[in-house]
Structures are given as structure tokens and as C-alpha cells.
């Protein structure tokens, strides 16, 4: 099992902390978000990790080289162009492609009590092209699912696909973790041929959801989840992990 960790973002909302370091190397209770994420995917059974880099790329690479990791770690270099999430996955294809699913995890999403291994197992059993972590929380953007947790569209004030009727659909916020089957790569290539090399997974998933099975995964048991992208959520995460690790 392989994993890709998104660590290339600019981290503008965390300035001034990210004026001299990448967001992924900001610490939560004394440990960088990147190391916490690598540990999380390793604990779920991943034996190889790909980390994409762009903002302060050399610092991320130096950090990765300075540690002895329990798994193989590769770097997908996006210094020439930040490719966003969909383009980033496609650019890392040489590391991720194969005969089994792979995990995609934002470096700034931290969880405690979330069972990533169970999400991976659920994906394997479903036959889905992709499974996305979702949860009920207030946001400005929602995925829309039917009663079988199949993705039907995206709501951002407007709906996609155009004309999507949301009555009867369940709206959930994306949690920054996916499990993808390798069959996704030809579809990503087709999408990039039209959209260009830089694109997000969100419009890609919406474009695919009528013809491909893309499912939402919602853990029943409660767990801690933080999007550590802003000073207030960073402070909250530091306080939470301090209480866990004291």
C-alpha cells in the first residue's frame, strides 16, 4: 500500500509562520504536521510514501533526508509549477501506479481516533474509483451523496453538475483524505488533456461521478479532526495534542 502526502501548499493563511518555512513543517505540539501525517499513513499499513514539494521545497527535502523513516519515502517535485491536488496525483503516477489502491492525505489534516485502515478496507470492498473522507460540519463547499453514499455532485452556492437537484441528497464536507484505485490514472490523464496540468481533484471527481463510482466515507465513531491551515485551528490542534501527549 502506498500513500501520497500533499506538502506543496503555500500556507498563506498561516503567515507569518510560513514566511520562512513550508506549512507542512509547522509544528503541532513539538512535531511537524508532515511527520505526524507520515506516521498516520504508516500506522494504517502504508509501506511507501510520496511527498510533493513546491513552497520551500529544499526545506521539506532536507527534513525528509534528516530522519530515518520506517518506510520508503519519495519526493514528487513541483518546484516549477504547483499542480494542485489532481495534477499532483497525476504527476506522482510513477510512484503510485500499480495493482492496488493508494492513500492521498493532506499534510495539514490531523486526526486522532480516526481509523484510516478501516477506510482503506471499505474502499477495497466497494469497487469504487475513489473513496473520500467526509463529515458533517459547516463549510462553504459540500459534496452531495445519495442514499448509497455515491457522489452525485458538488454544492458551492451553485451546484455541479449543472442542474443537480439536491433534494434528498446528503451534503457533507470533505475531510482531506482519499483512497484511490489505480484505474484513476487514465481518467486523470484525459481530464488533464482538457484542463491542463494544474487542477483540483474536486472538479475532477464531479466530472467523473456520473460514470464512475466515487463514494463518501463517514466514520461512525467520533474522532478528532483538524484542518491546521489557520492560526486559530493551529492553536486548537496544539492544545488538543498537548492534552493527548502529556
Q: Considering the entire predicted model, what is its pTM?
A: 0.94
pLDDT score at 10: 87
109-124 tens-digit pLDDT: 999 999 999 999 999 9
pLDDT score at 12: 85
Which residue shows C-alpha cell 466515507? 217
CB-CB neighbours of 177 under 10 Å: 24
What does the CA dihedral 186, 191, 171, 13 come to, rounded to 10 degrees?
110
Which candidate, 134, 128, 122, places its Cα nearest to that of 209?
Answer: 128
* Mean pLDDT score across all residues of the chain: 94
- Is residue 21 scored above 70 in pLDDT? yes
Ordered DSSP codes for 47-80? -EEEEEE-TTHHHHHHHHHTS--SSEEEEEE-SS
153: which 3 cell numbers?
455532485
| pLDDT band at residue 246 using 50, 70 and 90 as cut-offs | low
CB-CB neighbours of 176 under 10 Å: 21
Which candidate, 175, 36, 176, places its Cα nearest to that of 106?
Answer: 176
**Average confidence (pLDDT) over 212-227:** 96
**Residue 179 · residue 131 · CB < 8 Å:** yes
**Average confidence (pLDDT) over 19-44:** 95
Domains of the chain (ranges, CATH numbers): 2-134+176-245 (3.90.550.10)
Beta bridge partners of 75: 51
Amino acid at each position: 500500500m502506498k500513500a501520497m502526502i500533499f506538502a506543496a501548499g503555500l500556507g498563506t493563511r498561516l503567515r507569518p509562520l510560513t514566511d520562512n518555512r513550508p506549512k507542512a513543517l509547522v509544528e503541532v505540539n513539538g512535531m511537524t504536521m508532515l511527520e505526524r501525517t507520515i506516521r498516520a499513513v504508516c500506522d494504517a499499513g502504508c509501506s511507501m510514501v510520496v511527498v510533493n514539494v513546491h513552497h520551500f521545497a529544499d526545506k521539506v527535502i532536507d527534513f525528509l533526508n534528516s530522519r530515518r523513516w520506517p518506510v520508503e519515502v519519495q519526493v514528487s517535485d513541483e518546484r516549477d509549477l504547483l499542480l494542485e491536488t489532481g495534477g499532483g496525483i497525476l504527476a506522482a503516477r510513477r510512484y503510485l501506479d500499480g495493482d492496488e489502491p493508494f492513500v492521498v492525505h493532506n499534510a495539514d489534516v490531523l486526526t486522532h481516533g480516526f481509523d484510516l485502515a478501516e477506510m482503506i478496507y471499505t474502499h477495497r470492498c466497494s469497487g469504487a474509483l475513489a473513496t473520500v473522507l467526509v463529515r458533517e460540519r459547516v463549510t462553504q463547499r459540500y459534496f452531495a451523496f445519495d442514499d448509497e453514499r455515491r457522489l452525485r455532485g458538488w454544492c458551492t452556492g451553485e451546484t455541479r453538475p449543472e442542474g443537480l437537484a439536491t433534494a434528498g441528497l446528503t451534503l457533507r464536507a470533505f475531510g482531506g483524505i482519499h483512497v484511490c484505485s489505480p484505474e484513476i490514472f487514465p481518467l486523470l490523464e484525459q481530464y488533464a488533456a482538457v484542463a491542463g496540468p494544474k487542477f483540483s481533484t474536486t472538479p475532477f471527481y464531479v466530472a467523473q461521478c456520473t460514470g464512475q463510482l466515487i463514494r463518501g466515507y463517514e466514520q461512525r465513531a467520533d474522532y478528532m479532526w483538524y484542518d491546521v491551515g489557520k492560526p486559530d485551528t493551529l492553536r486548537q490542534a496544539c492544545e488538543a495534542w498537548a492534552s493527548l501527549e502529556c
